[in-house]
Structure 1
Amino acid sequence: MANINDMTVGSPTRDIIHFAVPLICGYILQQMYLIIDAAIVGQFIGVNALAAVGASSSIMFLIMGFCNGSCAGFAIPVAQEFGAKDYSKMRAYVSNALRIAAVIAVVITVITCIFCERILKIVNTPADIFHDAWLFLMLNFLAIPFTIAYNILSGFIRALGDSKQPFYFLIASSVVNILLDFLLIIAFGMGVEGAGIATMLSQIFASALCALYIKKRMRILIPQGRERAYNDKMVGKLLNNGIPMGLQFSITAIGTIMLQSANNALGTVYVASFTAAMRVKYLFTCVFENIGVAMATYCGQNIGARKLERIKLGMTSAVKIMLVYFVFTLIVIGLFADEMMLMFVKSTESEIISNAAMYMRISSYFFPVLGILTIFRYSLQGLGFSNLSMLSGVMEMIARCGVSLWLVPAFLFLGVCYGDPTAWIAADLFLVPAVVIVYKRLKKRMAKA
């Protein structure tokens, strides 16, 4: 039997931890193989190749953020109907979500491939790494349909409370990715192209595993008969949940692109510093992100079951869990940030190591602000208020653009280091009152029902 988890009963803290731990482990594993990608590229090909891989990271965050955010939004009505125990309606949402995801995959892949070169010019990619950056980015764009397939299918699985199977699939695909890295980059000498191909093949493998699992073990998700029909109202609700979530990530990424463009203009050394720091930062921040992801499913199921007080208890529990993790990150990053950067470059690259370690330490001081952001943002999404989540992304974008236009020219790489913290603070200034207002509104609405 599939591991279906009803999060509308039992201890909120236990439910959140039980759901979040496989997610966190999966994303740590995912970030680890991204780190291994960068380490292999930096150590075996060189600093320029490392910079080429990182030069387009904000672009990928823009594109894949929209795709992944949209897929997460499409899973919210599925979680809500599962919480309400209306399984036929749940499967109808699955059917219509797959239609939308297929259209998005085709359109975005075609557009991004056509404009790949122009995109890299927009973000001031240095000439000495331009070709490798273009090659790596193009291969990532070609993998978009498979990335969307994995995210939509794993989103359906998580909507039913099963976060373990997507974790197992990430383990398998990560192993495939790492083995292919060694084979294509080191054994066959394919360089940056090998890293891109390895990523693409691992995404194909992960999406195939999700599809096979649903077919064999989670048939409750497979639409039958009239459940497969196109439904205007359902498509509208799916788009209302998915598109704002996708735009939220993309809008946030616009600010990140501005920041990376300002950093790219500083030169290849700073591009490499930014690349190394971002790889390690994502390894730590993915825990905050996935506590938030757990809250989206938790809130989605509980709002479907009309258990508002339980949602409040869950948010309080999530904040406590986040603060415990923050203490751990502060100690580890404070002590070992410099040593972590030796994974990507040789010890002689002292300027890159120093810059990247400084970026990590400054970011870590503001991790509680990020934790509040992810918990509140994903909770709003699970409650069906994706538009408010999108507006918090607007606040992040404005803050990062301000840093890019004023702080980076004035303080150079130190200004870059304060880009994320400034954006997180700006988002929280919007999200905290938004959550309070939404909760009061839902309380009044349920009292009248």
Structure 2
Amino acid sequence: MTTAPTRPGPPGARHGMRDLTSGPVMRTMLAFSVPTLASNLLQSLNGTINSIWVGRLIGTSALAATVNANMVMFLIFAAVFGFGMAATVRMGQAFGAGQIDQARRTFGSAVGLCVGLAAIVAVLGWLLAPQLLDLLGTPGESRALALAYLRIIFVAMPGGMLTIMLAMGLRGAGDSKTPFYFMALSVVLDVTLNPLFIAGIGPFPRLGIAGAATATALANYLSLIGLLTFVYARDLPLRLRGTELGYLLPRRSELGYIVGKGIPMGAQMLLASSAGIAVIGIVNREGLIATAAYGAAMQLWTYLQMPAMAIGAAASAMGAQAIGAHKPERLDQISRAGIIANLLITGALTALLLIFDRAALVLFLGPDSPAVPLARHIQFLASWSFIIFGVTIVLFGTMRAGGVVWAQLIALGLSLFPARLGFYYLLRPALGADALWLAFPFGSLVAAALAIVSYRRKGWREKGLAISPERAAEAAHADGDTAGRVKPDL
């Protein structure tokens, strides 16, 4: 009689990754989420500080130029982010099943695809940057500045994409601390080098706005070199050596999953961005004071969203490893812990923001601005919507671990457009401008309801558990090489 093979468990610390499939769920989630949240905060602060350097040292035309250039980069980043998220899920499943070599194959294909695309886009971007800026309608007084900035940012793109892929891959392996450390290094370098290159302080050349882009590119590449050195020095799971470097040539079996799941994931970012643009268009029609008030509120909302995003990423990584390890009972525990953590953290942050709203808003508007009272009103009507939306992020984070992506895209589209904008247009005659601010919590309620309905359907669990990392590994090792399988501890 043939005995069924023992399923290999997660490789654990001795293989350089963190096991997310055992131990207290809440403690594991918080340990993973906090460094991710800190990374997001650092990234946002980095952008804010660099904008201050550009605005103060060069002027408003230069600041407008960076806004136009960054809009182009966001569109490109959205696509790469989707592919990276899809690869992270597949890698997490492989790590959960103990299939280190299969995780490396997925990682190699994702890196080869994304960095290859980034290199092509960098060349085309350098050549077509003038046409891109014309397409965006970049104001003439800032066009030359935007062109100089954008071209250098395009040069930095391949390194930036590789850094993103490494960070996402490490999170898939359960390690959220290492990406945080090197994000911190990048931010410190960027913030320090920006004024030096812009103004030509000391031995540094005076490059103006090109100096801002040069500082960012240099900081990114230096951080990337440090991260790669660390990965190989510690022999972390994602390192590729010898024949494994061949994994960087994307394989059809991997690309089918990465592209098929990555496109709808990236589309979610584009959908949210387009909805934001639509809302700004509506706000602009309410007048200058409304635009200023909404702009200040948005600055604070950026930070309100971060806890849920970090917790959702944790739910996705933990869920992927649980599916790979065939522990379906852990999925509901992950979702429950994520929702509780979101309610506590986002709820506390929202409460603090509403208590000290005036002090926070005057940082952007000034103490005597007539927009401050309206901004406070907007905060009280709409800020709590992010607590509700956090529930959606957590549930879809867990479902994403099972490869569910289209349900998220559909739910997001319905909540942002028919629900949010429909609410505004239907109730604008009765509520006035308040219809727009109340449309935010209404849209969040619709999104949460759709997420709960989708989550309660059992089909996604069976579909996720049917994805066998062992089968993927066997297909990849058709030549008989089984070196990547991690044997269970005896």
Assess same fold via TM > 0.5: yes
- Tell me the amino acid that sits aligned with residue 301 of structure 1: Q
Q: Please name the residue that 1:84 is paired with.
A: 97
Cα distance in 1, alignment partners of residues 286 and 225 from structure 2: 42
Cα distance in 2, alignment partners of residues 185 and 361 from structure 1: 40
Q: Please name the residue that 1:212 is paired with.
A: 229
Q: Quick one: which of 248, 252, 257 aligns to 1:237?
A: 257
Residue-by-residue CA offset, 1:34-72 (whole Å, 9 max, x unaligned): 222234445565666655555666655433233223212
Distance 1:416 1:139, change over 3 A: farther
The question of whether the paired residues in 1 share the 8 Å contact of 2:416 and 2:443 is answered with: yes
Q: Please name the residue that 2:398 is paired with.
A: 379
- Tell me the amino acid that sits aligned with residue 255 of structure 1: A
Query: Following TM superposition, by how much is the alpha carbon of 1:116 offset from its aligned partner in structure 2, in angstroms?
Result: 5.3
- Tell me the amino acid that sits aligned with residue 227 of structure 2: C
Give the 5 Å matches for 1:255-266. 255-260=275-280
Q: Quick one: which of 449, 461, 468 aligns to 1:442?
A: 461
Q: Please name the residue that 1:292 is paired with.
A: 312
The question of whether the paired residues in 2 share the 8 Å contact of 1:51 and 1:275 is answered with: no
Query: Following TM superposition, by how much is the alpha carbon of 1:200 offset from its aligned partner in structure 2, in angstroms?
Result: 3.0
The question of whether the paired residues in 1 share the 8 Å contact of 2:317 and 2:401 is answered with: yes
Cα distance in 2, alignment partners of residues 343 and 420 from structure 1: 24
Would you tell me which structure has more helix in proportion to its own residues?
1
**TM-score of the pair, normalised by structure 2:** 0.77
- Tell me the amino acid that sits aligned with residue 230 of structure 2: Y
Give the 5 Å matches for 1:308-327. 308-327=328-347
**2:351 equivalent to 1:334:** no
- Tell me the amino acid that sits aligned with residue 388 of structure 2: V
Aligned residues: 446
Q: Please name the residue that 1:38 is paired with.
A: 51
Query: Following TM superposition, by how much is the alpha carbon of 1:331 offset from its aligned partner in structure 2, in angstroms?
Result: 2.4
Q: Please name the residue that 1:23 is paired with.
A: 36
Residue-by-residue CA offset, 1:82-135 (whole Å, 9 max, x unaligned): 100111212111221122112331344456566656666666766666665666
**TM-score of the pair, normalised by structure 1:** 0.83
Aligned with 1:233: secondary structure? helix
Which stretch shifts more, 130-139 or 335-344?
130-139
Cα distance in 2, alignment partners of residues 40 and 347 from structure 1: 23
Q: Please name the residue that 1:198 is paired with.
A: 215
Give the 5 Å matches for 1:49-448. 53-54=66-67, 60-110=73-123, 139-185=152-198, 192-224=209-241, 227=244, 228-229=246-247, 230=249, 231-260=251-280, 276-344=296-364, 347=367, 350-351=369-370, 359-396=378-415, 398-399=417-418, 402=421, 406=425, 421=441, 423-437=443-457, 439=458, 441-442=460-461
Q: Identity of aligned pairs, percent?
A: 23
Residue-by-residue CA offset, 1:404-435 (whole Å, 9 max, x unaligned): 99599989986775675555444334322111
Higher Rg of the two aligned structures:
2
Cα distance in 1, alignment partners of residues 41 and 115 from structure 2: 28
Cα distance in 1, alignment partners of residues 438 and 68 from structure 2: 19
Cα distance in 2, alignment partners of residues 333 and 426 from structure 1: 24
Residue-by-residue CA offset, 1:200-238 (whole Å, 9 max, x unaligned): 333323333322222221343234566535532122122
Cα distance in 1, alignment partners of residues 163 and 342 from structure 2: 27
Cα distance in 2, alignment partners of residues 313 and 92 from structure 1: 30
Q: Give 5+ residue unaligned stretches, structure 2.
A: 1-13, 469-490
RMSD: 3.9
Residue-by-residue CA offset, 1:124-179 (whole Å, 9 max, x unaligned): 76666666566655554544323311111111111111110101011111111211
